[in-house]
Each structure stands twice: as C-alpha cells, then as structure tokens.
Amino acid sequence: MSDNKFQGLLAGKTGVIFGVAHKTSIAWGIAKKLHDAGMKLAFTYQGERLLDNVKKLVDEEMPGSLLIDCDVTDDAQVEAVFTKLDAEFGKLHTVVHSVAFAKKEDLAGGFIDTSRDGFMLAHNISAYSLTVVAKYAQPLLVKNGGGSIITLTYLGGERVVKNYNVMGVAKAALDMSVRYLASDLGPQNIRVNAISAGPIKTLAARGISGFSDILSYMEDHTPMKRNVTQDEVGGTGLYLACDELSSGVTGEVIHVDAGFHAVGF
C-alpha cells in the first residue's frame, strides 16, 4: 500500500503540463505531486531535442502518459495540443504552464542593453504564451465545469534581481496576465494563479549569471534560513489544482520562497 497521504485526492482528474525539460524542472515537481494524487497527465515538449528527456522521465515514473509536441510561439500548435487532449481526455481539469526563455546574453550585465529582439522573444515565450494556452484550454476546462490554470513566476518580476533583467520584466507581465485572465475566466469557474518559487537548481537557472551566489544569499537571508525544494513547490501546485482545497483562490501570486519576499534589510 502506498504511504502517499494524498492518494486519490485527484482521482478521475486530468491535466496537462507545459514546460518539463529535466528531472530538476519545477514543472516536474508539480507533475509528480499531481500524479501521486491520482491525476492523469499529458506533457508537452518542444521538438525532438527535448523529447528524449521528457519521454525518459515519463516512462520511468508515469508510463502511458500522453506526449505532445508544442512550440508555444505558434498558436496553431497550442490549439492542436488541446484538440488532442479533447480527443484523448474529453475534458480537462488542470493546466500547468512552466514556460520561460530569454537569450543568455540578456541574463547578464545591464537591463539597459537588452536588444529589441531579446525583449520581444522573452515576452512572447515567457508571458504571452500563458494567454494563448489559457485561450485554447478554456473550452475543455468549461466542459469539466471549471478548473485550474497554474503558472510559474519569480520575485524578479516584483523586485530587481541582479542579472535577471529582461526575464524579470517578462515575469511582471506574466503576473499581471494572471490577474486579467483570472477576471476573464472566473465566471466560468476557471481559476488562474501563479507560484513564485524561490531559486532552485533547475536546468533553466543555470543560464542566469551568478545563480550560485543567489542560492547562498537566499539561504542566509530567508526567515527560514534555507532554500526551498522542488517538492515544496510541487505541494503548492497540488493545492492549487485541487478544487476541494483552493476553490476560492484565483488571481494570486503565491510565494514559495521560505519567506524571502516578506523581508527587507
């Protein structure tokens, strides 16, 4: 018998995860929690380069999960994801959006040096993609009687974080997108929230100059005197996905950062 205390909590529910790239991905931490609670999941990946990583993870821990190729900068591909999910699942309860990208050269030095192309690229992938995902998820979530859309953000969208630069500005746009989407979709019982996770050693984080220094600083300055784990962020994802636990929560940015967002000097 499993010792999973949340076993069966999401039995009969279905979800799709955008953004798993590696076993360290925050999205993978959320996926594991949802799966352990009984949710049937599908995963998107972008191109053959990422397929192997995602397929290996899924085959080892969630065999039989649906895998769908999707480039979030292409509306037709996003729409095709939900057409496929409609055919396979019939309805949908949860969408996890964990998609972000900026050019490496824009994550070092000064924000003032951000190129126009770099600015547009970061916002297209990291912020606008949530809106287009929500647009095409909406009909399936409505068929379910409502549901939950969860995205991943970071404190760099609220405060200046060294070297986060254009990604911080994109995260600020993402945070406001959460609020506007929550307003648009609330009448249909669709909740939209963001998790602002503290720094975690993910594949994406390695592209941020000085990331190891950020981890050390956080460990010394959070109220809890430590960094957070992938599992802890996953637990908050489970809470937001579960109607029984978070039915009245929408338009929120929930910080899972050991309290760092709350402190000053």
Question: In the numeric block, which tokens belong to residue 94?
Answer: 């949860």
Write out pLDDT tens, residues 34-51. Answer: 999 999 999 999 988 889
- Per the listing, tokens 């192309």 go with 117
Whether 265 is in a domain gets the answer no
Could you tell me if residue 160 is inside a domain? yes
In sequence order, the 6+-apart residues with CB closer than 8 A to the CB of 74 are none
H or E element at residue 155: none
Strand pairing report for 14-18 and 94-97? parallel
* Mean of pLDDT over the chain: 93
Per DSSP, which regions of the chain are E strands? 14-18, 40-45, 66-69, 94-97, 147-153, 190-197, 253-256
**Confidence at residue 49, expressed as pLDDT on a 0 to 100 scale:** 80
> In this predicted structure, what is the pLDDT of residue 249?
98
Domains in the chain: how many in total? 1
Residue 5 lies in a domain: no
Alpha-carbon span 214 to 210, nearest angstrom: 7
- Give residue 35's domain range: 14-260
The per-residue pLDDT for range 123-133, each reduced to its tens digit, is 999 999 999 99
Residue 7 lies in a domain: no
Instruction: Give the residue from 15, 12, 36, 188 showing the smallest Cα distance to 85.
Output: 15
194 within 8 A of 174, measured Cβ to Cβ? yes
**Does some domain include residue 72?**
yes
In whole angstroms, what separates CA 116 from the centre of its chain? Answer: 25
What's the pTM value of the predicted model, to 2 decimals? Answer: 0.94
148, 137 Cβ separation under 8 angstroms: no
Which CATH number covers residue 254?
A: 3.40.50.720
- Cα–Cα distance, 183 to 86 (Å, whole number): 25
Q: What are the beta bridge partners of residue 152?
A: 195
Q: How many residues are there in the chain?
A: 265
Convert the pLDDT of each residue in 72-88 to its tens digit.
999 999 999 999 999 99
In a domain, 89, yes or no: yes
DSSP helix/strand/coil, 56: helix
Q: Does the pLDDT of residue 218 top 90, yes or no?
A: no
The DSSP secondary structure of 58-123, one letter per residue, reads HHHHSTT-EEEE--TT-HHHHHHHHHHHHHHHSS--EEEE------GGGGSS-GGG--HHHHHHHH
Catalytic residue IDs: 154, 164
Q: What is the CB neighbour count within 10 angstroms for residue 116?
A: 7
Q: How confident is the model at residue 21 (pLDDT cuts 50, 70, 90)?
A: confident
90 occurs within a structural domain: yes
Q: What pLDDT, on the 0 to 100 scale, is given for residue 216?
A: 78
